[in-house]
A and B are shown apart, each in its own frame.
Chain A
Amino acid sequence: MVRYILKRLLLMLPVILGVIIVVFTLLYISPGDAASIILGTSYTAESAARIRETLGLNQPYLVQLGKYIFNLFRFDFGDSWVSGVSVSSELITRLPRTLLIGSLSIVITAVFGILLGVTAAVNQNKWQDSLCMVLALLGTSLPGFFFALLLALVFAFTLQWLPPYGMGGPEYYILPVVANALGGVAMLARQTRSSMLEVIHSDFIVMAKAKGLRRRDIIYRHMLPNALIPVLTTIGMQFAGVLGGSIIIETVFALPGVGYYLVTGCNNRDYNVVMACTIIISVAFSLVMLLVDLLMAMVDPRIKIQFSEVKHGRGK
């Protein structure tokens, strides 16, 4: 298992390198000029040339890319073109906030999504099933920003239970996390229901029922673990959605995380910021997908056996 983890971590390196190259290249070829951004209204050809020289932007593409990658190994994303503040130090401050929102959103997504899905599946074609699926449909249909504003209007401005925006104690995270989790809960509920329904008619479930096992044991010890494989994959994919969603959620709730930083960077054409945020989000997503694969190995004995066969030289 350790060997498998190391192997997966090594495989992540080319993925991350690929992301860096793609992001760098896209921004390199995209229209726009750093000198023009930095100089603003005081743009002249001479001062622009001076800025390009200082930033090394007049060097060949490969040299610029090489330098950028070299600096990344030292966690140096350069300075913001607009504010002059180190992008790395900003990310160190902001990343935990985004990861916290993302992690809590995923926890909520997993708990409520699976609960709704299981409830719907074991009560197939009953009112509980219809209710869960209507809720899931609503969750899938409502755009994240709309739901976020709705939550703010109801719970912050009307009921005044929670703060509408900003950063502070745990209460500031409740609305962003709930808003961010909604879409995921809905998707996961539908996936869980579908997976559970496949398992529910299996022979081993019929056998378990025939043996007189308790309903709860059948659902949670026999059905759910077998239905969990596609659900785990969905959770992993949801994390990508949650990280992407943080761009909207953080902007609506004025929460200064990586998503908000990315939006500000895009608005200011601050490409150092845009590149850094995109790379960080990609790396975070790669790590989460690795975690999901490991969890799947723990849940599914067949995958575990594959590892041990690889370990003992019997597998391919």
Chain B
Amino acid sequence: MKKHSALFLVLCLTLGLCVSCGQATSAPSAAPSGEAPVVETDSAGTTLKVALTNPFSGTSAINISNPYRYATFSQVYETLIAYEDGKYVGILAKEWKKLDDYTWQVTLFDDIKDSQGNPFTSSDVAWSFDGQKTAGHVLRIYYEFGAVEVVDDTTFKLTLNTDSDGAFYLLGVQMLLCTQKASDDSPDQLATMPVGTGPYLCTKYVEGSSCTLTKRSDYWKKENLPKASLANVDTIEISYVPEAVQMLGTIVSGNVQVAGEVDMSISKDVDSAPNVLTKYISNGTYNGLAFNMKGRAVSDNKALREAISYAIDPQGLIDAVYTGHATIMDTYGMATASDYNPAWVSGISYDPEKAKEKLTEAGYPDGITITLVSNNVGEDAQLSELIQGYLGAAGINCVLDYVDPASGAARLAEGEWDITHSGGIGVLDMSLFWGNIYNKSETDMSMYFHNDPALYEIYDAYKLAGGKTAENLQKLYEYEYDNVTWLPLFNKHVFFALSGGYKDIYLNDCYMSLPYLGSVTR
């Protein structure tokens, strides 16, 4: 009898598991209380199958610092503006103008509605910006945001903490917006199902696995659609494939028509696959090495900094870590910046013999030991080992101090290091680039301990309202060129694969070349 009871219990357990483990998905979005949305679609419509490398957590527009979340939801939520064919175009914003050094006035289109029918107004912009700023774990650019003053339903004034035009445009193209009403109506503030104003509606979302976007028949924007608002396919089925071999298999076998943010380790195999078109695009990031400018051997020794700079071969790093898919950054500036000067003189380039000469000039003919602080995972770890090798060949013993990414900022603040990886994204103008390097922290120094009064005289003049002149910019460039406190290395590429006859897809040039999936064209 007991045996039978036990067997019965086991059967119940197994059945229970099977019943509870079906296609558990989050509730669809159109209805606030979990009701199924009414989605009008053409059953014979086109379906685009997409594989993206990285999954993410959460679906809210707020706290959107994860770019992979942006890649999925950039056409469910919308931004104020987009950058297309070399110019900015309005998405939610009809027009915008700069009122003074720090204030912009933006006018929204007046008929914007999200997929639940909620009107999108200036108040929603203010709510989204405030939420983004207090959400934590956001991109540095959000800290340039000051306040939004609502003028009326369609007009608001946006005040920034900088007079950089690039900061305005970066916020405009990066920041996804939604209505406060949709968030309030959602049981978890849209954390598990997005509701936005974009041309697509999320109809199914399984965190870490898949997402289905369906074209909205009631999309508010009817004509003069910018590329970011295009919905060229009726349904987009996104799968998240974190494993590189699985990704390769799915691209080569034609399971998907678009594969995005693909791991470079499989790029050569995908390149050689028949009927697959590959696209390599700069993702708008920059990578370099920063020198510790306080209390270390490198701090007061320009020749030593030059020796380190001459010893490292950026192309070698690119070939080894990115299979050749990155561009050498040969000046102290980003070519994507609107005020980039093509006439700027190139910085230091790889020359191991000159590195040895400079090392002798620095007073270390027999070599020196320096410390490189680096994340202990991913590309940074690989790059660090290569840099260690290059420096070793020039007579510089480089000790790798690997830290968990969670401890990185704190370790840098301790100051017991000589060089570290330094990079950033979204450089629309050079003030954003210099800001990442020179901005002072609460210690009244930059995060790399820049504390030279001569530097800050130039930098402060440049940073002040009205100070972003070509002349001031040139002075900053020359300071960096003369003092070599930062070593530019490369700009990375991202890698997309298209098949099934699709030839092109529109990418957000201002934000890591993230795709607008609905814009695919044959």
Contact = CB atoms under 8 A, between A and B. Distances in A.
17 contacts: A32-B404, A42-B139, A42-B142, A43-B409, A44-B442, A45-B441, A46-B442, A84-B63, A84-B135, A93-B207, A96-B20, A97-B24, A103-B17, A160-B253, A251-B243, A264-B57, A270-B57
A83 B242 contact: no
Contact of B210 (A86, A152, A167, A270): A167
A40 B23 contact: no
A123 B9 CA distance: 35
Given A96-B20, A167-B209, A85 B137 contact: no
Contacts of A51: 136
A31 B20 CA distance: 38
Interface stretch (A180-188, A219-227, A254-262): A254-262
Contacts of B209: 166-167, 254-256
A269 B405 contact: yes
Interface in A35-55: 36-46, 51
B243 A254 contact: yes
Interface stretch (B81-89, B154-162, B244-252): B244-252
Nearest to A99: B17
B483 interface: no
Contacts of A255: 209
B192 A85 contact: yes
A166 B407 contact: no
A294 to B, nearest CB: 7
Given A100-B17, A153-B249, A31 B406 contact: yes
Contacts of A103: 13-14, 17
Contact of B442 (A31, A45, A153, A254): A45
A82 interface: yes
B452 interface: no
B112 interface: no
Interface string B198-228: 0000000011111000000000000000000
Interface in A207-258: 251-256
Given A45-B413, A97-B21, 10 more contacts: A31-B406, A36-B406, A39-B136, A43-B409, A96-B24, A103-B13, A164-B249, A251-B243, A269-B404, A269-B405
B60 interface: yes
B55 interface: yes
A93 B24 contact: yes
Given A38-B137, A42-B138, A157-B249, A84 B58 contact: yes
A157 B251 CA distance: 10
Give the interface size class of chain B. 35 or more
Interface string B400-433: 0001111111100100000000000000000000
B442 A36 contact: no
B18 A100 contact: yes
A252 B243 contact: yes
Given A149-B246, A169-B23, A254-B246, A42 B140 contact: yes
Contacts of A165: 239, 241, 243, 246, 250
A261 B208 contact: yes
B255 A298 contact: no
Contact of A37 (B137, B138, B192): B137
Interface of A: 1, 31-33, 36-46, 51, 80-86, 89-90, 93, 96-97, 99-100, 103, 149, 152-153, 156-157, 160, 164-169, 251-256, 260-261, 264, 267-270, 294-295, 298
Contacts of A43: 409
Contacts of A167: 23, 206, 209-210
A127 B209 CA distance: 44
Nearest to B240: A254
B191 A84 contact: yes
B280 interface: no
B65 interface: yes
Contacts of A37: 137, 406
Given A31-B407, A165-B239, A254-B240, A100 B142 contact: no
B208 A80 contact: no
A267 B208 CA distance: 14
Given A97-B21, A157-B250, A166-B209, A264 B55 contact: yes
A166 B391 CA distance: 44
Contacts of A42: 136-140, 142-143
A42 to B, nearest CB: 5
A90 B207 contact: yes
B6 A298 contact: yes
B3 interface: yes
Contacts of B139: 40-42
Contacts of B100: none
Nearest to A268: B57
A80 B136 CA distance: 12
B188 interface: yes
Given A167-B210, A251-B242, A32 B407 contact: yes
Contacts of A267: 377
Contacts of B142: 42
A84 B186 CA distance: 15
A152 B413 CA distance: 46
B58 A85 contact: yes
B406 A32 contact: yes
The 10 lowest CB-CB distance pairs between A and B, nearest first, are A32-B406, A83-B57, A83-B58, A256-B208, A269-B406, A100-B21, A157-B249, A43-B409, A96-B20, A157-B253
Interface string B231-270: 0000000011111011001101101000000000000000
B522 interface: no
B136 A38 contact: yes
A304 to B, nearest CB: 9
Contacts of A268: 57
A82 B57 contact: yes
Given A157-B250, A254-B243, A83 B191 contact: yes
Contacts of A256: 55, 206-209
A31 B187 CA distance: 35
Contacts of A38: 136-137
B138 A40 contact: yes
A27 B357 CA distance: 47
Contacts of B207: 90, 93, 256
Interface centre among B21, B66, B143, B408 (most CB of A within 10 A): B21
B2 interface: yes
A43 to B, nearest CB: 4
Nearest to B17: A100
A149 B137 CA distance: 35
A1 B2 contact: yes
B3 A164 contact: no
A157 B252 contact: yes
Contacts of B442: 44-46
